[in-house]
Amino acid sequence: MNTITNYQSKINTLWATFLLGTLFHTQLGLMPLFHGQDIAHSHDTSDISWVLWLMLGFFILPMFAMIATVFTQSKSFRVGHFWLTVIYSFLNFSHITADLFVTPIAWFQIALMVILFVIGLLLNIVSFQWMKYHPSRRSSEVQELRSSGV
């Protein structure tokens, strides 16, 4: 597997793990339903519909990023992708901070959000490496090593 494909595989694995964790975070909030407890039903109110659209966007952008990561290696996409991961890390950190001010604090949710934040930081690192990767430079380094007998 070449280096660029390796970056793409790592990125898509991290995005998929992040999205699964985010879905689980959302589902944990619904768990009281399965135990006969009430939760707020947000679909009844038009006041909250904009939040649902934001959540949809929050899930769709990584899905599109994963698809584009498979089909393109352009420098402009890699730069944009890196900054997308930075924005998601900032949003995750903001979410953790906001959840610490909700009473009562759901520590299991905080723990999951911290794990998702760490996954996001890994995604930042790999995306940064992919953004800085220069295939032509790597090819010339390999050719130099081959010609030197290493």
CA–CA dist 41, 113 (Å, integer): 23
Average pLDDT over residues 119-136: 93
Sign of CA dihedral 111, 112, 115, 120: negative
Sign of CA dihedral 129, 134, 140, 143: positive
Q: What pTM, to 2 d.p., does this model score?
A: 0.77
CA–CA dist 81, 132 (Å, integer): 12
Can you give the pLDDT at residue 135?
Answer: 72
How do residues 23-68 score in pLDDT, each as one tens digit? 888 776 655 555 555 555 545 556 667 877 888 899 999 999 999 9
Tell me: pLDDT of 70 over 90: yes
Can you give the pLDDT at residue 20?
Answer: 92
Query: What is the separation of C-alpha 76 from the centre of its chain, rounded to a whole number of angstroms?
Result: 19
Rounded to a whole number of angstroms, the CA Rg of the chain reads: 20
